[in-house]
Amino acid sequence: MDGLQRGASVDEETEPEEPKVGDCCGEGCNPCVYDIYRESLKRFKAKRPHGISADSLGLDKIEFKPFRLTIITPQTKDTSIYRFESSERISIKIGQHLELLVPCQSENGVKEVVRKYSPIAWTDTSFDVIIKRYANGEASKYFDKAEPEDVMSWRGPYGNFSYRKDDQEQLVILCAGTGIAPVIPIIRTIVENSEDETTIKLLCGSHTLEDRLLMDTLNELKAFWNFVFTHYVTSNDGEAGWGEKVIRGRIQETDILNVISASNKKSKVLICGSDSFCDDMKETVRKTGADFHCF
């Protein structure tokens, strides 16, 4: 009920507060706290059409808007980076996500589903998302047929993640698979700020060496003094490249405890991955007493 209260606005003279991380359970509730938030925002905008300014012209938190797919860049056999462009200016902040409206075939014709993706990079008129295609996934079938010049419908951005360089001395990031997407812009923001001395330690899980995502970006970022990363790979396929730090197996509780406890620095932890991965990571991080944020 707390999430519903935060997602809705009692006083329509005040702009409704966006749901906080964790308010949405991810179980497909109808209505979802985000549905309630959007309805409250719609009523607020209708009542005060000139009272607020849009976050961005090409993106809207209520209505889906068209974006043109311009580039598809394969990453692995089933994962690619998709670039979308708008004719209008857009505004996205680190840690935010967007929603895509996906038309899917069903027994009764076409149904529409909504999928969430975190941009890994963006400009004033475009953004990149990394998408994994699953064998029987509804959205995956849609992207299997996607080609440059296709027009897709997006809305957002959502998410109230905030970062201040003085909040922690060390940032520990625990992610798996495409869970790396929301943290890449955060890492880049920190390391490219010469006044930010926060150290970053990334522990990233994947099934195989070939499944590792955004390796070019990670290798680019590791040139900065305050960023290091370790991959945890559950298979025994192939050999890691020169200078790569790869541990065979899953991210263990002892690994997390050592990274956080071995340093005298005040730590904050970011977590992103599957529901089961996040649950496991949160349980361990709680034992350390460190502040954490789960995407």
Binding residue positions for FAD: 115, 117, 130, 132, 140
Q: Which amino acids are annotated as binding site, given as ranges?
A: 115, 117, 130, 132, 140
Distance between CA 288 and CA 295 in Å, rounded?
19
Q: Which two tokens stand for residue 226?
A: 């305050």
Distance between CA 188 and CA 196 in Å, rounded?
11
* Location of structure tokens 């195989």: 208
Q: β-strands 126-132, 79-85: how paired?
A: antiparallel
Cβ pair 165, 189 in contact under 8 A: no
Distance between CA 50 and CA 107 in Å, rounded?
44
